[in-house]
């Protein structure tokens, strides 16, 4: 693994405001849980996106069990749920495991 591979940002209730809502780039947040099979299926895709789009978008993961406040604020009822934020607002969402192309199709329009 090279030094440039950083992977997704580890988000928490405490850092969500600064890292997501006040971010000047589009942010993809993967609401996930350790016990969730589909979450583990998309984890490598989230990892890839974090490395490929570093500097263009912020890709983060938030464990719903460890951070119930943020999950509740955004009405997360099932995982994985991917929310795309821009300018502090949710601009798109994907619920359930999906492929990289579908995620990119929703994320790309927000990366200007």
36 part of the active site: yes
Distance of CA 64 to the CA centre of its chain: 12
Q: Which two tokens stand for residue 40?
A: 């583990």
Cα pseudo-dihedral 62, 18, 13, 25, rounded to 10: -20
Give me the catalytic one of 9, 27, 39, 45.
39
Catalytic, out of 28, 36, 46, 82:
36
39 given a catalytic annotation:
yes
Question: Which positions are annotated as active-site residues?
Answer: 36, 39
């Amino acid at each position: 693994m090279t030094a440039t591979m950083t992977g997704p940002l580890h988000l928490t209730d405490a850092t969500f405001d600064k890292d997501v809502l006040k971010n000047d780039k589009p942010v993809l947040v993967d609401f996930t849980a350790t016990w969730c099979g589909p979450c583990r299926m998309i984890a490598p895709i989230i990892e890839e996106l974090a490395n490929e789009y570093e500097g263009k978008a912020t890709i983060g993961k938030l464990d719903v069990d460890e951070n119930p406040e943020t999950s509740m604020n955004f009405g997360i009822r099932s995982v994985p749920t991917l929310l795309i934020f821009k300018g502090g607002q949710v601009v798109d969402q994907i619920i359930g495991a999906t492929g990289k192309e579908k995620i990119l199709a929703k994320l790309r329009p927000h990366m200007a």
